[in-house]
Amino acid sequence: MKLPGRHRWGRWLVTLAIAVAVLVSVGGGTTFVALEVTTDPTFCTSCHIMEPYYESWASSSHKDVSCVECHYEPGLLETFEGKFKALSQLAKYVTATEGSKPWAEVSDQSCMRSGCHSARLLEGTIQFGRIRFDHRHHLASLRRGKKLRCTSCHSQLVQGEHLTVTASSCFLCHFKDGRENGHGGPIDDCTLCHGAPEEVLVEDGLRFEHGDYLARGVECAACHGDVTRGEGRVPRERCGSCHNQQAHLDRIGDVDFMHDNHVTNHAISCLECHTEIEHSLPPREQHYKGACTDCHQTPHGVPSATFRGTGGEGLADDPSVMYLARVTCTGCHRPPFPGATVPTGGATWQADPVACIDCHGPAYDGMMENWQDETKGAVDGLTGALAKLTEYIDEAIEYEDPDADTPLAQRHHEEAAASLSRVLLDGSLGVHNLPYTRSLLQRAEDEAREGFDALGSPRAMPKVEVGPVSASATECTTLCHVGIESRESAFDHGRHVKREGIDCAVCHDAEPHGTRHKPAPRPAQATCVSCHHEAKRDRTCAHCHGDQGALRAAETLGEPSPMWDFDCLTCHSDLKSGHSASAMRSGCDYCHEDDEENFSALRYGPWIDEAERPLTEWLEELDSVSGDGKDQSEVQEELQRWLDAGAYHNGAWVAERVQELKDALVTEAADG
């Protein structure tokens, strides 16, 4: 029996619906499976050109994050857009029309999606190696007129790190000169990123703390030159590696458009277009030249070699401490004023002694001149000695002296002259490298002496002073305090260092000093006492303690001090303790041991106060007395002198003298 027409159509509709349902279910399942398979990172390696990217990802800190989590923006539509783009790339691969340089964007939304780096902007300053970095400053505002993206910095593919920051990203932005674009020049404040290195550097036994120098206002560039290399240019041919349409190439000069389109809109890595800029301390043999080679085709030969401690015949290399510390030539050879230009033909900027003080502090004032005085004395002495040697050689040749080996003397003369010439050609008189200069001069002296010896008696070499007059074991007098033995000061260093041969460390603490944290040490009083009060010394106490001696010898009009005829050692019986109060009190107890009350404990303080009272009271009243300012000043100085000397050495005379000064000053004021 045949079914009515409408029933036949209904069956076909049901069949069609079932078929569609089956196809949809199968297709949907297939689509779901396809979506899952293609989101697995291993699927990316279906294209062999993706293998290095996969290997980099698999060994990076992002290895637990699926590729699509970064390369697809958050959202359903964005995911389908990403799939469509990926299928188009797959189609190119299947049809062999793909390029050799795959390219993809990672949006900021992907980086800052929930669970990833959503809170990165709130973290504030972080540490990137030795650099302080804040994401807020780079992402929340324009930098040099440009809007940055996460991938502006996080864009480099590094072995073992998939998407990371390399220092070259920082250097390109921070050191590229952008003045022609109206966005300012490179950032030149080192402390903005680095801060002061905290570690203490030790070079050739000398300590160096950056903080001391920065606190004195010393700029980093005073020592560190040539730390930035490269220009970050954009070679035109790099544009052609991506673009071949003339309309695109015509916009190469539009800098703002180029950065907006490439950096902000499409997250192109800066180094895809720009050449690299390097920023680091170069090798020492290059570093010290600083910016000198900007003007000079070659560095100065002998001064350069002296600074590096090389070139001297028969001498071991001995670099300057300044060279080891990477100080550049321009750290000392500074322009006469900021911004000074080099005249045509070049110029040599003289080293300014003020540069020593600017970096090292006022304690180093005069050090450069002391080095040069020592060196000049040796140079003058050797110049005269070699002139005399030449005279003796000519004399021996003229008279055919059989005892003189003139060829040997001439060879020694040549060797001595060569070493001396290096010092003269260096021109700094030891400042570039004092120890090495001394070695050159010492070798010149040794060779000259050999030359004189080759000529035989009586042709003796004149006396030449090479090196410091005294060479302390701790190198105090050989480096920082050269010439201390002849310098005018309250203390006679010459007598102690030169005549007695006492090393600096005997009196002074040899611990590191001379910085703002620790000034130059002074000798302890007990150290002086340990030498100057030995029994073998045939001296009176007044030899060193003149004011105390004057008080003891002063005659009073009234009753003298009960101890006026005592020997100093009667009271100061324990000198090696450094004249301390307890040492003096021990002498009191020796005489007053039969007193009913303990003198040193109960009466010592009041006794001293009583002796000093006339001085202290009149010093307080002196300002209220009208009179000639000069006279008042002289009276004040004398009162302070006796107070410092210890009024108790002769309290009776001190009281009389105070009254005498008081009467004279009051009378003068009344007469005026």
- Per-residue pLDDT tens for 27-59? 555 555 666 667 777 777 777 777 777 777 787
CA 369-291-183 angle, 5° bins: 130
**Least reliable range by pLDDT among 62-76, 103-117, 338-352, 359-373:** 338-352
DSSP letter (8 states) at residue 143: B
Q: Residue 430 pairs with which residues in a beta bridge?
A: none
Kindly tell me if the per-residue pLDDT of 386 is higher than 90. yes
CA-to-CA distance for 667 and 661, rounded, in angstroms?
Answer: 10
Element (H, E) at 412: helix 406-426
pLDDT band at 304 (very low <50, low <70, confident <90, very high): confident
Q: Residue 128 pairs with which residues in a beta bridge?
A: 131
Check residue 49 and give its pLDDT.
72
Q: Please, what is the average pLDDT of the chain?
A: 75
Check residue 516 and give its pLDDT.
44
Average pLDDT over residues 445-474: 86
Check residue 156 and give its pLDDT.
57
Check residue 535 and give its pLDDT.
45
Cβ pair 126, 134 in contact under 8 A = yes
Kindly tell me if the per-residue pLDDT of 248 is higher than 50. yes
> Who has greater pLDDT, 296 or 334?
334
Average pLDDT over residues 160-181: 68
pLDDT band at 6 (very low <50, low <70, confident <90, very high): very low
Average pLDDT over residues 434-461: 92
Q: Which of 472, 422, 427, 426 is nearest to 442 (CA)?
A: 422
Percent of the chain beyond pLDDT 90?
A: 12
pLDDT band at 527 (very low <50, low <70, confident <90, very high): low
Which residues lie below 8 Å from residue 291, measured CB to CB, with a gap of 6+? 225, 226, 328, 330
**Least reliable range by pLDDT among 117-121, 299-303, 497-501:** 117-121
Place of tokens 């010092």: 423
Kindly tell me if the per-residue pLDDT of 379 is higher than 90. yes
Beta strands, E only, 147-238: 156-158, 161-164, 201-203, 206-208, 228-229
Check residue 1 and give its pLDDT.
42
> Who has greater pLDDT, 292 or 396?
396
Average pLDDT over residues 381-401: 93
Check residue 180 and give its pLDDT.
39
* 614 preceded by a cis bond (ω within 30 of 0): no
Q: Which of 307, 288, 317 is nearest to 431 (CA)?
A: 307
SS3 542: helix
pLDDT band at 16 (very low <50, low <70, confident <90, very high): low
Average pLDDT over residues 478-484: 76
CA-to-CA distance for 83 and 386, rounded, in angstroms?
Answer: 89
Write out pLDDT tens, residues 413-444. Answer: 999 999 999 999 988 999 999 999 999 999 99
Tokens of 90: 């797959």
Write out pLDDT tens, residues 144-157. Answer: 677 777 877 776 55
Cβ pair 258, 251 in contact under 8 A = yes
Tokens of 490: 């309250």
Tokens of 320: 């300057």
Check residue 121 and give its pLDDT.
63
Q: How far is CA 271 from CA 172, 237, 262, in A?
A: 8, 14, 12
Average pLDDT over residues 68-72: 78
Cβ pair 285, 308 in contact under 8 A = yes
Q: How far is CA 84 from CA 37, 49, 306, in A?
A: 15, 19, 69
φ, ψ of residue 164 to 5 degrees: the values are -140, 175
**Least reliable range by pLDDT among 318-327, 351-360, 486-495:** 486-495
CA-to-CA distance for 109 and 129, rounded, in angstroms?
Answer: 26
Which residues lie below 8 Å from residue 589, measured CB to CB, with a gap of 6+? 598, 599, 600
Check residue 383 and give its pLDDT.
95
Tokens of 494: 């010459």
Check residue 526 and give its pLDDT.
59
> Who has greater pLDDT, 233 or 306?
306
Domains of the chain plus CATH, in order, are 14-111 (1.10.3820.10), 367-455 (1.20.140.10), 476-523 (no CATH), 548-671 (no CATH)
CA-to-CA distance for 561 and 455, rounded, in angstroms?
Answer: 73
Cβ pair 189, 238 in contact under 8 A = no
Check residue 3 and give its pLDDT.
43
CA-to-CA distance for 93 and 105, rounded, in angstroms?
Answer: 19
Torsion sign, CA atoms 410, 414, 415, 420: positive
Sequence-ordered alpha helix ranges (H) in 194-300? 210-215, 236-240, 246-249, 255-259, 284-287
Q: How many CB atoms lie within 10 A of CB 561?
A: 19
* DSSP string for residues in 465-496: --S-SS--TTSIIIIISTTGGGS-SSS-HIII
Place of tokens 């910095």: 153
CA-to-CA distance for 14 and 636, rounded, in angstroms?
Answer: 126
Element (H, E) at 208: strand 206-208
Q: Which of 333, 334, 229, 358 is nearest to 287 (CA)?
A: 229
> What is the model's pTM?
0.49
> Who has greater pLDDT, 647 or 404?
404
Count how many residues are written for the chain. 672
CA-to-CA distance for 251 and 247, rounded, in angstroms?
Answer: 7
Check residue 454 and give its pLDDT.
93
Check residue 186 and give its pLDDT.
59
Q: Residue 164 pairs with which residues in a beta bridge?
A: 156
Write out pLDDT tens, residues 531-542. Answer: 766 544 556 677
> Who has greater pLDDT, 64 or 560?
64
Which residues lie below 8 Å from residue 255, measured CB to CB, with a gap of 6+? 181
Burial class (CB in 10 A: 0-12, 13-18, 19+), 582: exposed
Check residue 448 and give its pLDDT.
95
Q: Which of 324, 323, 334 is nearest to 356 (CA)?
A: 334
Highest mean pLDDT among 308-317, 478-487, 606-615: 308-317
Q: In the Cβ-directed half-sphere of 342, how many Cα atoms lie within 13 Å? A: 14
Write out pLDDT tens, residues 553-605. Answer: 777 766 666 676 676 767 775 555 455 555 566 667 666 665 655 565 566 77
Average pLDDT over residues 622-631: 62
Check residue 239 and give its pLDDT.
84
Cα-atom radius of gyration of the chain, to the nearest Å?
43
Average pLDDT over residues 86-108: 71
Tokens of 151: 């991938």
